[in-house]
Structure 1
């Protein structure tokens, strides 16, 4: 069984635009997904990237155009200037890590719920109530919002270290063995790779 190490950020617009296509691809190929939420700004700092707010205006403008085009291409609503961005991604990431350990729900739906809350619903994913709502909607116990916080914090840091070591430098980032795929617009390439190497 192939394993997909999935590095992403709950505040990433392109993680949002990916929707649940990764889960559909994994199901088609019988692949396992290891969900690894991380601090995307720290990843940029570690790998030569620049936070969006510090990029040249032409890069900032292009990013917004690409977000609009890719969201439209995938039939997803998007607010290019959400009310709560950048929100603190740590609380939602900790909840996701706790949910992955607890099981019983749909992790793909949880990632989609957090990112949709940020990019399409103008909700603050750092707030306990929003995190609980997303957990419940994805079939998890809402109490996981406050479960295993120390363990979640440790895993969150570890995910960043693993991402840097594995060669990831953005989000979403998909790794199968030594093969790396950066961005939701590379999911077709991941799908094709699993067809021959799954």
Structure 2
């Protein structure tokens, strides 16, 4: 049996500002990379999700940050977004349940996932809104012409089981922070490694192999970003 060709995997989080910025950079400069990669959500699991994950002999590598690191990230993201011309409102998370937005994305059809992502990100980082409030998320989806019932996907046993499978895959891929890029045996963590991931992607397009890149691709400090996450162009390596 012929194995299906491997594709790059991009782990993103609706919680992380660095994930948001990194995917916006890729979207604006290399949209074909998003069109030909496998996108996978990553989030802080609720206790019952973590229990189910450990029952599958998985776990969650990420550890919560200290207050000092949180304050640094707040300052750092302000610098980054100012340089990129992005407007950001830092949200305040009060007892968030991250299954709500991430399982909503997972439950959406492939063609609707970009709109779900865009709707949630614009609310969270553009307006500082709570995307872990089920009623609010349902209203956001309804206003965007999406199925408001996606806000209740975290209550669906099948979707929850699918979420456990995604987190198990992240555990197997050694994901410990976001954004995280996996290309064959090559792994890249953080916004600073976007250029290295893109170089590895280009090697894959040229040779069919995920070889270690010699130099990163230059990612320009753009000040005008595309309007939507789903502005992907057809193709990729072809």
What's the TM-score bracket when you normalise by the shorter of the two chains? 0.7 to 0.9
**1:2 touches 1:30 (CA, 8 Å); kept in 2?**
no
Counterpart of 1:64 (choices 74, 98, 103) is: 74
Partner of 2:191: 184
Give CA deviations for 1:95-146 in whole Å, capped at 9, x if unaligned: 10111xx2332x3443243233223312111223443355457764333333
The equivalent residue for 1:96 is 105
* Candidates 142, 147, 152, aligned match of 1:146: 152
User: Matched residue of 2:81: which SS?
Assistant: helix
How many residue pairs align between the two structures?
189
Q: 1:77 to 1:187 in 2, by over 3 A?
A: same
2:174 matched to 1:167? yes
Distance in 1, Cα, partners of 2:82 & 2:149: 35
Question: How far off its partner does 1:169 sit?
Answer: 0.8
Say whether 1:84 aligns with 2:88: no
Q: C-alpha distance in 1, partners of 2:84/2:95? A: 23
Query: What is the RMSD of the two structures over their aligned residues, measured on CA atoms?
Result: 3.1
Q: Distance in 1 between matches of 2:182 and 2:41?
A: 14
- Per the normalisation by structure 1, the TM-score is 0.76
Segments of 5+ residues of structure 1 without an aligned counterpart are none
Give 1:18's aligned residue. Answer: 22
Question: Deviations 1:130-180 (Å, cap 9, x if unpaired)?
Answer: 433554577643333335822221122222221121121111212121111
1:7 and 1:29, CA in 2 relative to 1: closer, same or farther beyond 3 A? closer
Give the structure with the larger helix fraction.
1
Query: TM-score of the superposition, structure 2-length normalised?
Result: 0.65
- Aligned-residue offset at 1:19: 4.2
Q: Which runs of 5+ in 2 are unaligned?
A: 51-58, 206-238
Contact between 1:84 and 1:124, CA under 8 Å: does it hold in 2?
yes
- Counterpart selection for 1:194 from 157, 179, 201: 201
The answer on whether the counterparts of 2:11 and 2:42 sit within 8 Å (CA) in structure 1 is: yes
Report the Cα distance in structure 1 between the residues aligned to 2:115 and 2:38, rounded to whole angstroms. Answer: 14
Cα distance, 1:38 vs. partner? 2.4
**Does the CA-based 8 Å contact 2:26-2:33 persist in structure 1?**
no
